[in-house]
Amino acid sequence: MMSAVGNPNNIFWQECPVGKAERQKLLNQKGCVVWITGLSGSGKSTLACLMTRELHSRGKLSYVLDGDNLRHGLNKNLGFSAEDRTENIRRVGEVAKLFADAGLICIASLISPYRKDRDACRAMLPDSNFIEARDPKGLYKLARAGKIKGFTGIDDPYEAPLNCEIELKEKDGGCPTPAAMAGQVVSYLEEKGFLQDH
């Protein structure tokens, strides 16, 4: 006898009486996903943590999905092959979508080297609710010395965003502080109306 598990005819979407609009009104903010991509060592996790602290200080609820942290639980069965990286990003995208639907500002901090995988996550949400931020600075001494193989940006590709909403880059010949970069992203969210529900 064939199993019915995975048969779409037996799976139904359950609607609830409290929806995204009601949750956003309760929180007085709009749910969205800020996807921070960049090379290893570029400061993504630091930026994500400073952003969530800044949002918290403003009374806004956010949650960080950190790529390394998720590999301790949700994605601990995945390696670093192209297929596993794609599944890693897909899972994070699905979780981020749920957080945004809950009305939270979800900050996903992952290398996410492949453009098609990031674009697939963008496609899960209304386009304006997916904000891609790129942190282009990177630290590669070990990889360049040949001590790490399959290292993103050295012998495994990193495909930079083509049209990201926010690019964090040098100003006046110097790198802004992580706090200044976090402020830049939070200011963007404020300008786009995510920090209030109307």
Does a structural domain hold residue 74?
yes
As a whole number of angstroms, the distance between CA 173 and CA 47 comes to: 20
The pLDDT of residue 197: 77
Domain extent, residue 141, equals 20-191
As a whole number of angstroms, the distance between CA 23 and CA 101 comes to: 8
Does a structural domain hold residue 2?
no
Q: 181, exposed or middle or buried, with CB in 10 Å at 0-12, 13-18, 19+?
A: buried
Does a structural domain hold residue 181?
yes
The pLDDT of residue 22: 94
Q: What are phi and psi of 165, to 5 degrees?
A: -70, -35
Instruction: Single out the catalytic residue among 45, 62, 109, 112.
Output: 112
Does a structural domain hold residue 145?
yes
DSSP run (H or E) holding 172: none
DSSP run (H or E) holding 70: helix 67-70
The pLDDT of residue 81: 87
State how many domains the chain has: 1
The pLDDT of residue 108: 97
3 is catalytic: no
Does a structural domain hold residue 79?
yes
Mean pLDDT by 10 residues, the chain (198 residues): 61 85 95 91 86 96 95 94 92 97 96 92 91 65 42 64 83 76 93 89
Q: What is the pTM of this model?
A: 0.83
The pLDDT of residue 164: 87
Using CA of residue 21, residue 16, residue 18, residue 89, what is the dihedral sign?
A: negative
Query: CATH code at 165?
Result: 3.40.50.300
